[in-house]
Amino acid sequence: MSPTPAPGADGEPRPEHHAAEAEGAKDALDSLHLRKIDLADRVFVLNVDGYIGESTRGEIAYALSQGKPIEFLNPDDGEHFLESEGLGQDVAQAAMSKR
C-alpha cells in the first residue's frame, strides 16, 4: 500500500506521480533543476497551500548546501517546513553568506 498524498486546496488528493515520472524523464529534470540552482542567485519556492514535494525538498537541501538563499511564496509554511526538516540554521547561514 502506498501513502496517500496530502490533499490540495480543493480537498482532492494530489497525484502520487508527476507526469515526468510516468514518462521516465524525472532524473533528467531533477538534474536540470540542480544546474539551474547552480546558476541562480537565490531560490524562490512556490509552496502553494504549504505543499512542498519530494523533489523540491531535495532541491532546497541542494540549494542550501551551495549557500543559496531560499525564499517561499508562503513564508510561514516555508519556515515551518525548514524547522521540521532541521534546515533553519542552514537558511540563516546562507542568508548571512550573501551579505
Walk along the chain (99 residues) and give the pLDDT tens digit of each residue. Answer: 444 445 555 555 555 556 666 666 888 888 999 999 999 999 999 999 989 998 899 999 999 999 999 999 999 888 888 888 888 766 655 555 554
Domain boundaries, the chain: 40-97
Q: What is the pLDDT of residue 61?
A: 92
CA-to-CA separations, 45 to 4, 10, 24, 59, 69, in angstroms, rounded: 23, 21, 24, 10, 11
Measured CA to CA, the distance from residue 73 to residue 45 in angstroms comes to 6
The DSSP result for 42-58, as a single string, is SEEE--GGG---HHHHH
φ/ψ region of 26 (left if φ > 0, alpha if ψ in -120 to 50, else beta) reads: alpha
Quote the pTM value: 0.68
Grid cell, residue 9, equals 486546496
Q: What is the pLDDT of residue 46?
A: 94
